[in-house]
A and B are shown apart, each in its own frame.
Chain A
Amino acid sequence: MSLEPQKLFSRLWSSIREGLISTFFPSDLLHPIEKAAQYISTKFEQNVILETDMILKQTTLKTIIGPEDHCQRLYLRSLTGLPAIPRTINENPGSVTDLKGCLSWISKGKIDVTGLIREIRDS
């Protein structure tokens, strides 16, 4: 069984720290091993952070909707004949803009919605 270098050094350093095999190495070798392990560990952490950032940017996040909130959303959807949504849904950061102009097909000309709702409220 072969181990990747960072895993090998990491395990070795753990063992040394635990004092299990330190007696098998001459003291002049312990320092270089410690340095190498620290270096690999730091590089490894940096890579993990970089890769995590990259993954977060490229992966759609999952959101779990609270039970009451989910019920209310399902209720509104069922009233309008829409299919249910699961409690865990993909979070779409651009979702507000999905709403923008989604009803533009209603009119070819301009509408004064504020004036129209004013009329409805006054009537």
Chain B
Amino acid sequence: MTDSAPVRIYPDTNILVSYSLGDSDENFELAEKLFEEVQNNKYKIVVSNFTLMETLHALRTIVTKMKYQELANSPSQGDLIQIANSKPFEETVHKDSMKAFSTIIDKITKDTQHFSFEPDGLTYPNETFAAGLPLLLATKGSFRVYRFRCQKCNSYLKCSSCRVDSEIVYKEANAPDLVQLLISERLGCKLFFTMDKYFANIPIKDGRVKIEVLAK
């Protein structure tokens, strides 16, 4: 344990969700290392409403994906439309994702030592978000080539019409990434932790929140 007061840090949504998923996430060990330091009182986590919104949406997306992947046989598009519009499917996804979200809320709201929250009634001056556009303008993205994949079994695919099996995609930090970063500054955090490598390209100047990209 450290004797000095813990440093306020802002973990990206991917870290909070990864740690909650445990071994089920590919990058769990990275999140686990950070949380060990939180446990040792080196850091105190600041959770924003934005992070919680993203967490809820990510959990809904994960649960939907899992339910889809669990479907037996090879359902046709018609079958899938029927399933997607059915009440039991909607209720299962809603129930499981809410159970997951409330589990996180339960644990982090009970832990006053390691988690703090956005103060009630906090306002964000326009300058906070005005700083985002210059940052995005100065951020240089990259082009990536991705192979098409089946979302159900993860096998690689080829287009039946033009025979193409990959696509070019532009990748860089995006508006939601910068919003997270700027919120972290407004909440007085010294460090912003993420597992998303695209944050490394954001040209943030000294004296502002420091970005730490956790990587294997």
Contact = CB atoms under 8 A, between A and B. Distances in A.
Contacts of B20: 99-103
A69 interface: yes
B103 interface: yes
Contacts of A117: 12-14, 17, 54, 58, 196
Interface residues of A, number: 44
Interface stretch (A2-10, A13-21, A44-52, A88-96): A88-96
Say what secondary structure dominates the interface of chain B.
helix
B35 A100 contact: yes
A30 interface: no
B101 A80 contact: yes
A56 interface: no
Given A100-B22, A112-B25, A82 B106 contact: yes
Q: Taking each of B12, B21, B61, B195, which has the highest tally of chain A beta carbons within 10 Å of its own beta carbon?
A: B21
A82 B58 contact: no
Contacts of B157: none
Contacts of B186: none
B102 interface: yes
Given A99-B108, A113-B17, A69 B117 contact: yes
B116 A69 contact: yes
Nearest to A70: B112
B66 interface: yes
Contact of A76 (B27, B32, B38, B105): B105
Nearest to B69: A109
B52 interface: yes
B32 A114 contact: no
A120 interface: yes
A107 B120 contact: no
Interface of B: 12-14, 17-27, 32, 35, 38-39, 52, 54, 57-59, 61-63, 65-66, 69, 96, 98, 100-114, 116-120, 171, 174, 176-177, 195-196, 198
11 contacts: A65-B112, A73-B109, A95-B113, A96-B35, A100-B32, A101-B20, A103-B104, A107-B66, A114-B27, A116-B58, A116-B61
Q: Which 4 pairs from chain A and chain B are nearest by CB? A: A101-B22, A95-B111, A80-B102, A73-B109
